[in-house]
Structures are given as C-alpha cells and as structure tokens.
Structure 1
Amino acid sequence: MSASYIPKNVYAVCTFQTDGVPRKFVDTRSEISVFYSKGSRTLLTIDDKNIDKEFPCKSPKNAMWSFLAFGAGLIVGALLVLSGPVGWAVIALGVGMMAYGAYHATQISHKCSGSLGKGNWKIEHQTVRFNKKNAITQNSMLICDAGGILSPIFSQSVAEKYTERIDALNNKEIWTNGIASFFGGAGAVLAFGEAAGAWGITKVALWMGGTMAVVTAGSYAEKEIIRSTALDNNEHYQNMNNVDQNELLPGYVKDPTGSTPGDLGSPDVLELDGKTGWFAKDPEGKLIVFFNGKQYVKDIKGNYTELKQGSQLANDLKKIENIDPREMYKNPDAQQIVKDIRQGKYSDNLVKSSIDGNQVVRPRDLNKVLPDIGTIKLQNIKNLGKLTVKGGGLIAFVFPFVATWFSEQARMELANAMAEDMNNGINVVSG
C-alpha cells in the first residue's frame, strides 16, 4: 500500500512506554540534505534512531518492582521459617535485592537513547534513499534493543489514544510481575526452609527448574496462539510478528544481566516432608499432589481460631495475674476460666501448661499459662503467614501468563494505531 515518508517530529508510540504521552522522532544521521516543506523538516531514514525525550521504559520499571517485591518476599519468608545466621543471611540478601531494585528506578527514564541507537528499523523502503540511507515510511517499525517496538504516528489524537492504552497495559503487566515475584521470593524461602536434608533441597531445586520450564514453554505457546489468531486483517500486526518473532529461548538465557525475579516459576506449591518421595501426605495419610486444598482451609481455620482463643484467654488471665496461686480457687474469675478450659473452650495447645500430672486443670496452675500464650499466638501468626504465601503462590503461578497477555495486547494496540493512522501523513508518499 502507499505510505507516507516520515519527516522529523512525527509522533512516536512505543510498546514499552509507561506513560500516556507520545514522543517525537528526530534526526540523528550525520549527513542531512533531504527535507520536507522547504527545509523545515528532515525526511528520516534508517539511520535516524532517536526521539526528542526519553520514554519511561517498561523494562527497567519491571525490573525495579520485580526486585523490590522479590527482596520483600525473601525477608517475609525468612521471618516466617528461618532464624539465626541463616535467617539473617536471607534477610540481608532480600535487602540487597531491594537495593538493586532501587537502582533500576534510576534507569526508568534513561533507557531510550542507547537502546534505540542499538536498535534497527524494519519494513523500511527498499529502493528510495535519502543521503544514501533507506527511507522509512508509515509502515516502518523501530525495534529497540530494550525489547520495545516504536512506530511513527502522524495524528496527535491517534497517538495519544493508543499511548494511554499501552501505558495502562504495561503498568498492569508490571504489577502482575511484581506480585508473582513477591510470592516467588517468599515461596522459595519456605520451600527450601521446610525441605529436609540434601535430597529435600535437591527436590525443591528441581521443582523450581521444572516450573520455570513450564512457564517458559507455556508463555511461548500463549504468544503463538495470540499472534496466529488476532488481527487477521491488520497488515501491520502481521509485519510486526514477522520482524519481532516469538522465541522459545527466554531472554534471560541470552542476556542473564536482563533477567528479573519474574522469570522464576513459583516453587511454593510443592508440599515436602522429607519422608514420602516427591510428595507429602496429609494427616489422614492421603497423598498430597502439589497442594491439598481441604487441608489448607482446615489449617487456616485452626490457626485463626487458636489465635482468637489465645487473645481471649490472655484477657481473662490478666484479671487474675496478681492473685496468690494458693487463693486462686476462691476467685470467681479463676473458677470460670477453669470451667471454660475443662469444657474445651480453648485448644489443648494453649492450656497445656495448666494441666498437672494427673491431666487435671487446677486453679493454682493458671498463672503458668500466660507466659506461653504470646509464643503460641506468634506461631499462629507465622503459620497463617506461611499458608497465605502457599495459597498466594498457587494463584500467582498463573501470573506470568497474565503478564504475557498484557504484553501481547500492547503490541496489538500499536498495530491498531498504525492502521488507524494510515489516512494521515504528508503528500510525499512511497509507491
């Protein structure tokens, strides 16, 4: 189809941008002697690879939130299951990850120029040259070294409409990766922390490798399905898929420095007890395959109930904390507490210190209970935290696929913007 050549200051829309404001293409080639409209605007070629102002780029922003969230996840996981030097080491690692995330925050608005300069224009004009360089047209796309795709858009209203849509999609993708990274970090600590022995640790490592393989292969298949079925009538989208092809080999293999915690599969849905091969068994002896939902709900209810009971018992015991144990049997509050314990109002775990050698609860022993309640309540909180991480990790396991969907939608929005803008342009067109 006929397409306009591109003069300087035509709007630029990028699939990796994270704001709703289009930029403008500018000239960067050393020799310039071809202009549009009496020398006021350079006609651009494949050597012109920059914009007037940096985009806030998805790549470093995604890395920032992924490392911040992963570091926070490591710290939370360490607080839940680790102690001593190992716990402090993992917390220090988490702080380091968060610091690295903070570093990426400084790169968000400084990514474009270098990455665009390393990039390449695609779908350029094959025969027309300006200053000995192939001209670019409305069909052309600039593939950025950071991974984004930029294309010229003449209409300001079209450019602004689609930059806002792309911005929204990219920020949703970033938040999705951040959530997955948090549960990946916390879940990894839980999985390794609860693994028994060298073989248990090996199983967790193999599990993580397996989940990464599943996520990689699944994301590749997801992209293939989307690209082969979407926008059949949009020539720009088909061209985009040809010049920016889907690859099975993940980017972090080619460039490990560009990897983020979001590339990890979530390992925390694996149940391990170190005794039953790959999978653990629940208290009823049934094999747990990945995740036992019934036992999970039961454990949440049990810990939450005991936490509430502990708070109630602590409040009741404070009423009698200054009473002489020898006089406790006369006190009506103490008598009521003993009655509640004997009737099963509180869990055995909470009141075990008040039970004597004859398995009888006596008023004189109630003062032995209060010091244990804080420890038990803290353990309940930790148990609920571990259960939350495991449940959240199970859900977050699908988040990489959700993030892939957002990313593919951003590419489709750029293709739609190009199609909608085809009736605009200058009166110098290619055949």
Structure 2
Amino acid sequence: MSVSYIPKNVYAVCTFQTDNAPRMFVDTRAKISVFYSQGQRTLLTIEDRNINEEFPCKSPKNAMWSFLAFGAGLIVGAFLLSNPVGWVIALGVGSMIVGGYYATQINHKCTGALGNGHWALEHPKVRFNQERAITHNSMLVCDAGGVLSPIFSLDVANRYAQSISDNNAGEIFFNTIASFFGGAGAVLAFSGATAGVVGMAKLGGIAKTIGWMGGTMAFVAAGTYGQREVLRSNLAPGNEHYTRLNEVDANNPVPGYVPNPLGATPGDLGSPDILEVDAKSGWFAKDQEGRTVVVFNGRQYVKDVQGNYREFKESTKLASDLKKIEGIPPRELHKNEIARQITKDIRQGRYNESMVKLSRDGNQVVRPRDLIRVLPDARAVKINSFRTLGQLGVKGGGLIAFVFPFVATRFSEQARAELASAMAEDMNNGINVTCDQ
C-alpha cells in the first residue's frame, strides 16, 4: 500500500487533547537536509517529536479535577459526621492542593513528554539523515499517555479534534463525580467501621474497611480492563488503523495508567461502599451454602435509602413542630394540640429514640410538659436532619461512584476510536512523495 511521507507542518491530532484545535508537527532533529516542496518543508523522521504549540492535556486535567473532587468529598464526608475528624479534613485539603498543582500542568509544554515518547509504525527501510522516516500510518506515542497522528486535511483534523475533545470532557466529568463520592463514601465507611469501638476492635474495623475498599477497587480495575478489551473489539470493526492503534497503545490492567505513576487519580477508584459486607458471616456476604460471594449490595442500598429518608422526614418534622411550641410554659403544653400530637407520636414510636429520649421522665413516661426538655435539642435535631440527608446522598452516590469509572472508560475508548477514524478518512490526502509500506 502506498502512503505519504510526513512533511513539517502536517496537522497533529491527539487522543488526550481537551480543545478542538489541531496542532502541527515540527522538526527537532539536529541534522536536516531532506526537504519537500523546494526546501520549504522538512520530511520528518522518528527523531522529530514535537508540535508547534502544546495541547491542553487530558492527563493533568483529569488529575486536577479528580484530586479536587476527592478532597472535597473527604471534607464533606467529615462534616457529615457528628464529630468532624480533623485529620480527614487536613487530608482533603492536601488532596485539593495536589489538584491545584495539576491545574498548573494542564497547558504544560508537550516538548518533554513528546521527546520522551516514540514514533511507532515508522518506515522499516527508508531513512532521512540516517533516521527512519515516518509515514501516514505512523503514530507518535506520548510519554504522558496520549497518541498523536498526522492528518493532512484541516477539515478532517478540526472535526475529529472536536469529537476527541468532547469525549475527553465526558471522561473527566464522570471521573470527577466518581472521585467526589469515593472520597465522601470512604469517610463514612471508616467512621461506620470504627464507631463506638476501641483498641483491637477499632483496628479490625479499619482493616476490614481497607480490605473492603481494596476489593472494590480491584473489581473496578478488572472490570474496566475487560470493558476496554470488549470495546476495542467492537468500536471500529474493519478499521486497520484502529487495529494498529490498539497494538501501539496496548490495554493495561491499571485504569488510567501512564508511564508516570502520578497519572493515576482518585477517579480510577471505585466506591468503597459497593460490596456487600456481612458482619455476622465474615468479610463478604455468603450464600445459603456458606460460600463467600461478592455481590452488589442493591438490597442494602434500598434499605439504607428508605431508612435514611424516613429519618430525615421524621427529624425535619419534629424540629419544625418543636419550634412551634417554643415559648409555651410547660404547664400549658397539655392544652396545646401540637404538643399533644407530638406526645402521641413519641408514645407510638414514630420517632427514632435518639431524637426523643430526653422527653421521657424517670418512669419512661412521655408527657406534654416534658417536651420542654427536647426544645434545646431542636437545633441539633435539624442539623442532624441535614447530615442525614447528606449521608443519604453519599450512600446513593456510592453506586454512582462505582458505575461512573465504566462510563468514563467508554468515553476514553471512543476518543481513541475517533483518532483511528480520522486516520482512515485522511488516507487519500498527502503529498506526492509516497512509499510502499
């Protein structure tokens, strides 16, 4: 098959770009003596690994938003507890500082990452200035994780740059949401595992939660790896450029992997709240025959949502009703219809005991006059209702934090398929200096 050599200033499209404009490949090799078009455009080789202007890169932008959201999630999770944990807040601030650092790297110069990268599918025989020539089939693999392809047509480059940018924006968005709920869920998971226990029991709760989270993260890693394998088999059937891209940019078991280990972000982690844990039977739920199984805790989510929502409504209504009788002398409360109804509701067990325990006298009898004891706690009840609503949101978001990495992976893989489609559409373009490859 005849393909074109690549001269300087051919357009470049990258799988990691987050804007809609292509760039241009430029020459960087020390010795240049092979040109196209009367010496005006260098014919490029594998030693020419740079572009005229940097791309705003998905890798640091993804890291920025993931760390900012993860830190915010930690802080929100801490304040949803009755006693906010100072070190968790500090950890959340630290995560946001890391995110701030990555914000300075979004428009990083591509020179270093491209210089440390390499051209793949270069011409196996032809050399310019003793270096292998690159062709229309070649791809530049960036050290930051992206893959760049030469595109001759400005129309093709613009259309696919926009599409790739849109897909990368979708990936970043879903990773950001997953990171937030992952951070908040982790705090609630740890607090739940250690609530009311000390010593070895507390350490055991922490160890179990860490194992729980690790199991979820391993499940997400394995799941997204398999998802990428399936997508790469089906996204662009018959596109030989996509087949080559998958060989050049191989699937990796670590989601979000790039050669730089700092490329991993909280968005790559699943929710710590997704696996069913049965405290009575061990680390994970067990079936009727006693075999350990890993399952989605759908039923538990429904139970938690229903319970939390009911408590939220109860605490909100109680706080509102107590506010209405505030200022009424205790001896007059038995004449007040609202006070009598609150007393009746408490006697019938409508409210959680933690909300109304101060209303009972020494004989555990609830009388309207004793509601005054609950009045000072009205504000605390209302605050608790807000915390309950927040915890309800985080628990409901646990499933989101688990599912969203899979959604983000779909966007990431689609961006790669778009690059291959651009290459296929552009193959009839090029210069009149071609080779057999």
SS, match of residue 325 in structure 2: helix
Query: Which moves more between the two structures, 229-238 or 405-414?
Result: 229-238
Give, in angstroms, the shift of residue 414 of structure 1.
0.3
Match of 1:23 in 2: 23
Give, in angstroms, the shift of residue 240 of structure 1.
0.8
Q: 2:270 aligns with which of 261, 265, 275?
A: 265
Give, in angstroms, the shift of residue 34 of structure 1.
1.2
Equivalent residue runs for 1:221-236 within 5 Å: 221-236=226-241
Equivalent residue runs for 1:75-90 within 5 Å: 75-81=75-81, 83=83, 87-90=85-88
Give, in angstroms, the shift of residue 201 of structure 1.
1.4
> Is 1:142 the counterpart of 2:143 in the alignment?
no
Match of 2:50 in 1: 50
> Partners in 2 of 1:279 and 1:373 — Cα distance?
39
> Is 1:302 the counterpart of 2:310 in the alignment?
yes
Give, in angstroms, the shift of residue 259 of structure 1.
2.1
Match of 1:115 in 2: 113
Structure 2, unpaired ranges of 5+? 195-201, 287-292
> Is 1:347 the counterpart of 2:351 in the alignment?
yes
Query: Which moves more between the two structures, 343-352 or 174-183?
Result: 343-352
Per-residue CA distance 1:67-116 (angstroms, 9 max, x = gap) = 001101111111123636xx111101100100110110000011511100
> Is 1:4 the counterpart of 2:27 in the alignment?
no
> Is 1:405 the counterpart of 2:410 in the alignment?
yes
Q: 1:290 aligns with which of 297, 301, 304?
A: 297
Per-residue CA distance 1:279-316 (angstroms, 9 max, x = gap) = 699xxxxx997351342232133123113313421431
Match of 2:421 in 1: 416
Give, in angstroms, the shift of residue 398 of structure 1.
1.6
Per-residue CA distance 1:374-407 (angstroms, 9 max, x = gap) = 1122222222222221221122202111111111
**TM-score with structure 1 setting the length:** 0.90
Equivalent residue runs for 1:314-393 within 5 Å: 314-318=322-326, 321=327, 323-326=328-331, 335-344=336-345, 347=351, 349=353, 350-358=355-363, 360-393=365-398
Distance change in 2, residues 1:273/1:225 (3 Å): closer
Distance change in 2, residues 1:303/1:119 (3 Å): same
Match of 2:98 in 1: 100
**Aligned 8 A contact 2:343 2:368 in 1:** no
Match of 1:182 in 2: 180
Give, in angstroms, the shift of residue 354 of structure 1.
3.7
> Is 1:153 the counterpart of 2:161 in the alignment?
no
Percent identity over the alignment is 60
SS, match of residue 29 in structure 2: coil
Match of 1:284 in 2: none
Distance change in 2, residues 1:111/1:296 (3 Å): farther
**Aligned 8 A contact 1:82 1:193 in 2:** no
> Partners in 2 of 1:289 and 1:53 — Cα distance?
46
> Partners in 2 of 1:254 and 1:52 — Cα distance?
24
> Partners in 2 of 1:234 and 1:222 — Cα distance?
19
Per-residue CA distance 1:122-142 (angstroms, 9 max, x = gap) = 111112211111111111100
> Partners in 2 of 1:293 and 1:274 — Cα distance?
16
Structural RMSD (CA):
2.5
Per-residue CA distance 1:252-291 (angstroms, 9 max, x = gap) = 597533321123232123566866533699xxxxx99735
Structure 1, unpaired ranges of 5+? 282-286
Distance change in 2, residues 1:80/1:273 (3 Å): farther
> Partners in 1 of 2:360 and 2:97 — Cα distance?
50
Give, in angstroms, the shift of residue 53 of structure 1.
0.5
